[in-house]
Amino acid sequence: MIDGVSLLSGLECRACCTLVEADRLIGVCPTCGHALLATYRLEDAPPGFRPEHWRTRPGGVWRYRELLPVRASRAIASLGEPETGVLPLADVEGADDLDLWAKNDGALPTGAFKAREMSVAISRAAELGARSVFLPSTGNAGVAAAAYGARAGVEVRVYLTEEARPELALACRAFGAQVRTVRGSIADARAAALEQEPGRGSIDLSTMREPYRVEGTKTMAFEIFDRFGAAGLPDAIVYPTGGGLGLVGIFKAFTELRALGWIEAIPRLLPVQAAECAPIVRALREGRSRAEPVPPPLEFVGGLTVPAPFSSERVIEAVRWSGGTGVAVPEREIRAAERRAATTGLVTGLEGAATIAGLAALRREGLLRSGERVLLYLTGGGIAPEVPWMMESAESTLPLRRE
Ligand SMILES: [Zn+2]
């Protein structure tokens, strides 16, 4: 097990400045209902705490334990998350004067970056005594929660939007989670959850409704720092955005590295949304501090389909404070980019493909300059569509549970 002790010091609400003790189960700010974020005693870091020390440990999510919230090693629910690869992208149309890279989270357990969130959030929930959790999902978050819940011995209920690929529901069940399919958007799935869950003593793992999923997403930035070093960090990170949790985590991680004195500049964060459902990009463009809900789109675009993101203020400030802004790309261009990427061997999922589709718009608007180092974040295509035993036996298999 990896050494190192969490420097977690508490939780804070940036909307109303309430501070909350961290070592009990809590969801949102008790004063105003906004998102809570974890704080760390960076000034109390042990003397040997340096980036070089991290690099003596196995790569992956739990390499960064000091800046993650789980205190006890035995509470860690891990499925062996690897440090995910970065690869140069040499032949992307219209980008040949960029130093272009992709980081591919498809290699994580359950096939997407959601493994980072759920490994950390479910470990922490279990450490604080949670026995069951629930969340609405368009697919990948639900599967990751189901897998890590199984690992941690925590009961998981997933309220899945009906547009999610059917194999994702089967995968959730195969991991032992209960699944309810809900007609409509992720907001409808959440409404269904809020009808069913009261009285069950369960923890709401919805995006930004508990403090620790965002801590897991920080490891995306820590790995980028590890791979490129302080001097070689990308100038900009292009990131596919639904609810925007990953942007909050990436910015938070870089801010913590800067507070430690390990980096100076923070890469510009450039979210890409589907034009059919782009509340965050719209707010960024219109100079507003929070996203206004948009009507649910007619076309489903996977994890990008979040018409009413919660605590969008945190997402928008992360992008603005990094010096970035967002672009929206039509769904058909995203689907075309996904197919184009496949011809180069890359399975991007719709979400990752949005970053490739977004490049042209970013170039057109002068948001990426010639010679810059640019990293496209491929958040992962999700669990493979062909897992035959899951398709055959999920309905009848009894979940295996630790006693
Ligand atoms: Zn508050």
DSSP secondary structure string for all residues of 38-97? EEE-GGG--TT-SHHHHTTSPSSGGGGGGGSS---GGG---S-PPPPPEEE----TT-TT
pLDDT value at position 43?
Answer: 86
Give the separation between CA 85 and CA 314, rounded to whole angstroms. Answer: 28
Tell how far the Cα of 204 is from the centroid of ligand 1, in angstroms. Answer: 17
Tell how far the Cα of 382 is from the centroid of ligand 1, in angstroms. Answer: 34
Tell how far the Cα of 34 is from the centroid of ligand 1, in angstroms. Answer: 5
Tell how far the Cα of 325 is from the centroid of ligand 1, in angstroms. Answer: 26
Q: Which residue has the tokens 């820590």?
A: 222
Tell how far the Cα of 13 is from the centroid of ligand 1, in angstroms. Answer: 5
Give the separation between CA 6 and CA 125, rounded to whole angstroms. Answer: 15
Tell how far the Cα of 161 is from the centroid of ligand 1, in angstroms. Answer: 29
More confident residue, 168 or 385: 168
Tell how far the Cα of 69 is from the centroid of ligand 1, in angstroms. Answer: 20
What confidence tens digit (pLDDT) does each residue in 217-254 have? Answer: 999 999 999 999 999 999 999 999 999 999 999 999 99
Tell how far the Cα of 77 is from the centroid of ligand 1, in angstroms. Answer: 30
pLDDT value at position 403?
Answer: 36
Q: Are 114 and 146 in contact (CB under 8 A)?
A: no
Predicted structure pTM score = 0.94
- 374 pLDDT above the threshold of 50: yes
What confidence tens digit (pLDDT) does each residue in 37-53 have? Answer: 999 999 888 887 899 98
- The β-bridge partners of 272 are 240, 327
| Local confidence band at 106 (pLDDT 50, 70, 90 cut-offs) | very high
What confidence tens digit (pLDDT) does each residue in 66-78 have? Answer: 999 999 999 999 9
Q: Is 237 helix (H, G, I), strand (E, B) or coil?
A: strand
pLDDT value at position 302?
Answer: 80
What the block records as the tokens of 286 is 């219109």
* Residue 185: count of CB within 10 angstroms of its CB: 23
